[in-house]
Chain A
Amino acid sequence: MRLPSAREIGTEARLLLIGIPVLIWTLLPIYHLFLFAISPKESAFSGKLWPDHPTLHNFGVVFRQEHYYLHHFWQQFWNSLVIAVATGVITLLIATAMTSEFHICSQKKLR
Chain B
Amino acid sequence: MATIALNQTEAGRTPISAWMTPWQAWGLILIVPYLLVFIFFVVYPIGYGFWVARRPETYAHLFEDPIFARSVVNTLVFLIVAINLKMMVALLLSGFFIQARTWIKWLSVLFILPWAVPSIPTIMSLRFMLNPEWGVINQVIFKLTAEDGPNWLNDPSVALGMAMLVHIWKSLPFWTLILIAARLAIPDDLYEAASVDGASRFQKFRFVTWPSMQTLFVTCTILSMIWTLGDFNSVYLLTGGGPGDLTHVLATLGIRYLRLDQVDLSIGAIVVAMPLVLPLVYFMMKRLSR
A-side residues, CB < 8 A to B, are: 15, 18-19, 22-23, 25-30, 32-33, 36, 45-49, 101
Contact of B134 among A18, A22, A25, A46 (CB under 8 A): A46
Query: In the bound complex, what is the Cα–Cα distance between A79 and B135 (angstroms)?
Result: 34
Query: In the bound complex, what is the Cα–Cα distance between A48 and B134 (angstroms)?
Result: 9
Query: In the bound complex, what is the Cα–Cα distance between A32 and B114 (angstroms)?
Result: 13
Q: Is the CB of A32 within 8 A of B117?
A: no
Q: Is the CB of A29 within 8 A of B129?
A: yes
Question: Given that A26-B113, A26-B114, A30-B117 are contacting pairs, would A47 and B136 also be in contact in the complex, using a CB cutoff of 8 Å?
Answer: yes
Question: Given that A22-B93, A30-B122, A33-B121 are contacting pairs, would A47 and B104 also be in contact in the complex, using a CB cutoff of 8 Å?
Answer: no
Closest 9 CB pairs of A and B: A47-B139, A33-B125, A47-B134, A45-B134, A32-B125, A29-B125, A29-B126, A18-B96, A47-B136
Can you sample 12 A-B contacts with CB below 8 Å? A15-B96, A15-B99, A29-B114, A29-B126, A29-B129, A29-B169, A45-B128, A47-B131, A47-B136, A47-B139, A48-B136, A49-B140
Query: In the bound complex, what is the Cα–Cα distance between A48 and B128 (angstroms)?
Result: 12
Tell me, rounded to whole Å, the shortest Cβ–Cβ distance linking A100 to chain B.
Answer: 11
When distances are taken between beta carbons in the complex, the residues of chain A under 8 Å from B169 are: 25-26, 29
Contact of B107 among A23, A29, A45 (CB under 8 A): A23
B103 sits at the interface (CB 8 A): yes
When distances are taken between beta carbons in the complex, the residues of chain B under 8 Å from A29 are: 114, 122, 125-126, 129, 169
**8 Å CB interface, B152-169 against A:** 169
Q: Is the CB of A36 within 8 A of B128?
A: yes
B30 sits at the interface (CB 8 A): yes
Tell me, rounded to whole Å, the shortest Cβ–Cβ distance linking A17 to chain B.
Answer: 10
When distances are taken between beta carbons in the complex, the residues of chain B under 8 Å from A15 are: 96, 99, 101, 104
When distances are taken between beta carbons in the complex, the residues of chain A under 8 Å from B104 are: 15, 19
Size of B's binding interface in residues, CB under 8 A: 28
* Dominant secondary structure at the A interface: helix
Interface string of B186-220 (1 = CB under 8 A from A): 00000000000000000000000000000000000
Q: Is the CB of B129 within 8 A of A19?
A: no
When distances are taken between beta carbons in the complex, the residues of chain A under 8 Å from B30 are: 101
Query: In the bound complex, what is the Cα–Cα distance between A54 and B173 (angstroms)?
Result: 31
Contact of A19 among B96, B135, B139 (CB under 8 A): B96
When distances are taken between beta carbons in the complex, the residues of chain B under 8 Å from A19 are: 96, 103-104, 107
The closest CB in chain B to the CB of A47 belongs to: B139
Q: Is the CB of A32 within 8 A of B107?
A: no
The closest CB in chain B to the CB of A97 belongs to: B30
Tell me, rounded to whole Å, the shortest Cβ–Cβ distance linking A31 to chain B.
Answer: 9
Question: Given that A15-B99, A18-B96 are contacting pairs, would A27 and B110 also be in contact in the complex, using a CB cutoff of 8 Å?
Answer: yes
Query: In the bound complex, what is the Cα–Cα distance between A25 and B30 (angstroms)?
Result: 47
Query: In the bound complex, what is the Cα–Cα distance between A18 and B171 (angstroms)?
Result: 19
The closest CB in chain A to the CB of B31 belongs to: A101
B138 sits at the interface (CB 8 A): yes
Query: In the bound complex, what is the Cα–Cα distance between A28 and B165 (angstroms)?
Result: 13
**8 Å CB interface, B115-131 against A:** 117, 121-122, 125-126, 128-129, 131
Query: In the bound complex, what is the Cα–Cα distance between A34 and B129 (angstroms)?
Result: 13
Interface string of B73-99 (1 = CB under 8 A from A): 000000000000000000001001001
Query: In the bound complex, what is the Cα–Cα distance between A81 and B93 (angstroms)?
Result: 33
Query: In the bound complex, what is the Cα–Cα distance between A101 and B23 (angstroms)?
Result: 11
Question: Given that A22-B111, A46-B134, A47-B139 are contacting pairs, would A33 and B122 also be in contact in the complex, using a CB cutoff of 8 Å?
Answer: yes
Q: Is the CB of B136 within 8 A of A32?
A: yes
Q: Is the CB of A47 within 8 A of B110?
A: no
